[in-house]
Structure 1
Amino acid sequence: MVGKTDKADAAQDALAQEFVQFSVDSGVLRFGEFKTKAGRMSPYFFNSGLFDDGAKLGRLAAFYAKRLLASGIEFDMVFGPAYKGIPLGAAVAIELARLGRNVPFAYNRKEAKAHGEGGSLVGAPLKGRVLIVDDVMSAGTAVRESIAIIQAAGATAHAVAIALDRQEMATENGQDVPHSAVQYVRDTLGLQVCAIAKLADLLQYLALHGKDGLGAHHAAVLAYRQRYGVDQGTM
């Protein structure tokens, strides 16, 4: 018999699988050989910049919103860090409002504005528990920068929402460390982390689509996971 928790997990898995399929169909998730920021050769590449039209961005925001609402994470507003986080955060705020969860939204500029309203922040004042929306985390650097901005405004950085959790070791000073960027943000910085999908979901997708020509990439992605992967639990 499937219990309430099992049903919730199954629903989340279904959402993750749908998201991976959407990413493949959109050309956002590609397979081959790609060099990461850490200097590793990865058998897959996730480029959220290719969610590049209104329909794709709207559907992406729907995935974020569904995962966030299902997670139970409480937050008072959305913050989109420059640059990729700006359209992501705005789109997620719009979708949340459409689903009945209307919250303020703000973002930062990389360069402070010296005229007009001035400053580096745009949108609603940063207040309360702030949700940071971004695409992926490689080292947690962008999150630390966002936390500094949020704290300087007197608000609390409370949680982070990302599209894909790569579930792999981060690097410090060019060396692999035994934790991921997500684990660092969650366990050291104390923020909750919510991901639409994880590398484990991608592996499951490849295993299920062996007859579609994608199964050939499963072995390479699994080997990468076995070499660089970490076990962790994003929501």
Structure 2
Amino acid sequence: MTYQESFLRFMVDCGVLTFGSFTLKSGRQAPYFINAGNYHNGNQLMQLGRYYAACIEEHHIPVDTLFGPAYKGIPLAAAAAVALSDQYRKTVNFCFDRKEVKDHGEGGMFVGKKLEDGERVVIIEDVMTSGKAMAEVYPKLKGAADVDITGMVITVDRMERALEGDKSAVQAVYEKYGVPVYSIVTMEDIIQAIQNGIIPGQEHLDAMLAYRKQYGVS
């Protein structure tokens, strides 16, 4: 079993990946839903960090520091940094931002590794729907130092068109910021895992294929 297949089974077991009929924020009626809020214990976080680390290793993403955008990205970046050390013997820094600049104590916008010019930074996020997270963190990171943002790692690439235009959020981010976005799995991986019996959902396969055909991008 590949780590992608293992991750899909992990998401199903955690109740994070479910199938049915869901109205998304975009208004689209989707046959599947991803609720990362169902990750809620230490064992899940440990395993999640390992999947992020595996994705970073598979794609050979150059990295000195993992950055976790507040708030969801904070534990994800920390878990991925631990996993890189534990699984691959690679020591990387991590840092995260505050929602508001601290005006006392050490002050500043960031907690953790102080960013420096030329530092290779990988952003760790959950899922990407619109690219809003990148729009928020890109100027913060570049404002802190002339860092090299070598990638963004997310759990799932939905591979669907944004509400405006014919590109996905992942494609739009790369076009606008020049930052490649890597995902642990894609919607295509989910469909294949159902077809191959890796995860349940056979009764929703036709709906998944129809949704992919209607809204999908390659």
TM-score calculated relative to the size of structure 2: 0.93
Instruction: In structure 2, give the amino acid aligned to 1:116.
Output: G
Instruction: Give the conservation status (yes or no) of the 8 Å contact 1:203–1:221.
Output: yes
What is residue 194 of structure 2 aligned with on the other side?
Answer: 206
C-alpha distance in 1 between matches for 2:37 and 2:104: 30
C-alpha distance in 1 between matches for 2:31 and 2:106: 46
Kindly tell me: are residues 213 and 93 of structure 1, through their superposed partners in 2, closer, same or farther at Cα, counting changes over 3 Å? closer
Alpha-carbon displacement from aligned partner over 1:143-175 (angstroms, at most 9, x marks no partner): 12111111001123221000111001112xxxx
What is residue 107 of structure 2 aligned with on the other side?
Answer: 118
| 5+ long unaligned stretches in structure 2 | none
The answer as to 2:97 corresponding to 1:105 is no
Classify the secondary structure of the residue corresponding to 2:165.
Answer: strand
Alignment identity in percent? 41
Instruction: In structure 1, give the amino acid aligned to 2:137.
Output: S
Tell me whether 116-125 or 160-169 shows the greater mean CA deviation.
116-125
**Of residues 80, 86, 90 in structure 2, which corresponds to 1:92?**
80
What is residue 139 of structure 2 aligned with on the other side?
Answer: 148
The answer as to 2:165 corresponding to 1:158 is no
- 1:49 deviates by 2.0
Instruction: In structure 2, give the amino acid aligned to 1:223.
Output: A
CA RMSD of aligned residues (A): 1.5
Classify the secondary structure of the residue corresponding to 1:27.
Answer: coil
Alpha-carbon displacement from aligned partner over 1:176-230 (angstroms, at most 9, x marks no partner): 32000111122331112211100000001111229x7520011111111111100
Instruction: In structure 2, give the amino acid aligned to 1:216.
Output: E
What is residue 75 of structure 1 aligned with on the other side?
Answer: 63
Instruction: Give the conservation status (yes or no) of the 8 Å contact 2:194–2:200.
Output: no
Instruction: Give the conservation status (yes or no) of the 8 Å contact 1:150–1:156.
Output: no
C-alpha distance in 2 between matches for 1:207 and 1:74: 34
C-alpha distance in 2 between matches for 1:170 and 1:75: 29
TM-score calculated relative to the size of structure 1: 0.87
**Of residues 196, 202, 218 in structure 1, which corresponds to 2:205?**
218
Instruction: In structure 1, give the amino acid aligned to 2:120.
Output: R
C-alpha distance in 1 between matches for 2:136 and 2:177: 12
Instruction: Give the conservation status (yes or no) of the 8 Å contact 1:180–1:230.
Output: yes
C-alpha distance in 1 between matches for 2:152 and 2:104: 31
| 5+ long unaligned stretches in structure 1 | 1-10
C-alpha distance in 1 between matches for 2:52 and 2:155: 7
C-alpha distance in 2 between matches for 1:169 and 1:100: 38
Alpha-carbon displacement from aligned partner over 1:97-135 (angstroms, at most 9, x marks no partner): 112111111001112222221222111112311100001
Structure 1: which 4+ aligned runs deviate by more than 6 Å? none
